[in-house]
Amino acid sequence: MSTDLERFLAHARGSAQTAKLLSLDDLRAHRGAEQSSAAWGLAALRGRLVELSARGATATLTAAIEIVAEAQAQAEPVVWLTLGNASFYPPDVAESGIDLTALVVVRASDATALARAAERCLRSGAFGLAVIDLGSTGDLSTQIQGRLVTLAQTHDAAIVCLTDKTEDTASLGSLVSLRAEALRGRSDGSQFEVGVRVLKDKRRGPGFTKTMKRNGPAGLI
């Protein structure tokens, strides 16, 4: 392992205050409690290929950033993979509490290249969460999905694919273990109501809904 990578992983695993305060046993207990109490969150997504989609008043970036924040709070390094013409707005993400210096961002020219980069990152065993922003043009073959699922299960990592599609549009494939839709609606004052609704869940069944109120900077939602 290179010195630069060692330094990054040391920083990523120690950047969150909760990670500094909790022992490894505490973190494992925390994950177990989350797993038993919620159908959406990092603990519920570990070892799975997940699709987070929406079209129109979308909140996929906001919902994804929530998972990134959760991962960083548990000292899990995160990689965000995106097409060359798309990205999140860094100042808004930082304002949401994300440590950008502990977040790896990878750009690629197409969905296949993104997936291959995700495979390399996950195969290292260093990352607890990989977010793959496929946008509206992305698609992944069954073979690629199979490799990603195997890596997620082997390394207890969550893989979240962001797609631009309506709920009645087919998901990426049968190997997607959980699919959710993230939409926003106007709330009180300057806040937005962000809703995450589970459309497919092979473990628990569909129907779970989580609602959050968040400030709505233009670049994030």
pLDDT tens column, 76-131: 999 999 998 777 888 888 988 899 999 999 999 999 999 999 999 999 999 999 99
More confident residue, 51 or 14: 51
Q: How many domains does the chain have?
A: 1
Decide if 77 contacts 13 (C-beta within 8 A): yes
Q: Mark residue 137 as left, alpha or beta (left: phi above 0; alpha: psi -120 to 50; beta: remaining).
A: alpha
Q: How far is the C-alpha of 86 from the C-alpha of 166, rounded, in Å?
A: 19
Beta strands in the chain (DSSP E): 48-54, 78-83, 103-108, 129-135, 158-164, 178-186, 191-201, 209-215
* Spatial separation of the C-alpha atoms in residues 20 and 152, rounded to whole Å: 25
Residue 169 lies in a domain: no
Please state, as a whole number, how many other Cβ atoms lie within 10 Å of the Cβ of residue 66: 22
* C-alpha–C-alpha distance, residues 72 and 93, integer Å: 13
Q: Which domain holds residue 94?
A: 3-164
- Residue 141 lies inside a defined structural domain of this protein: yes
Has residue 184 been placed in a domain?
no
The tens digit of pLDDT for each residue in 137-166 reads: 778 999 999 999 999 999 999 999 999 998
Q: Which is it for the CA torsion 114, 158, 86, 141, positive or negative? A: positive
Q: What is the mean pLDDT of residues 57-63?
A: 86
Which amino acid, one-letter code, is at 183? L
Q: Residue 216: its pLDDT value, please?
A: 61
Q: Percentage of the chain with pLDDT > 70?
A: 80
Eight-class DSSP state of 32: H
Cα–Cα distance, 197 to 183 (Å, whole number): 8
What is the CATH classification number for the domain harbouring 58? 3.40.50.300
Cα within 13 Å of Cα(177), Cβ side: 21
CA dihedral 93→23→128→218, nearest 10 degrees, is -10
Domain assignment of residue 171, yes or no: no
The pLDDT of residue 202 is above 90:
yes
Determine, yes or no, domain membership for 186: no
Q: Answer whether residue 62 is part of any domain.
A: yes
| Per-residue model confidence (pLDDT) at position 156 | 96
CA dihedral defined by 127, 131, 132, 133, rounded to 10 degrees?
-150
Which is more confidently placed, 4 or 135?
A: 135
Residue 2's pLDDT band (cuts 50, 70, 90): low
With respect to residue 27, please indicate whether it lies within any of the assigned structural domains. Answer: yes
- Most confident region among 13-17, 32-36, 67-71, 182-186 by mean pLDDT: 67-71
Evaluate whether residue 182 is within a structural domain: no
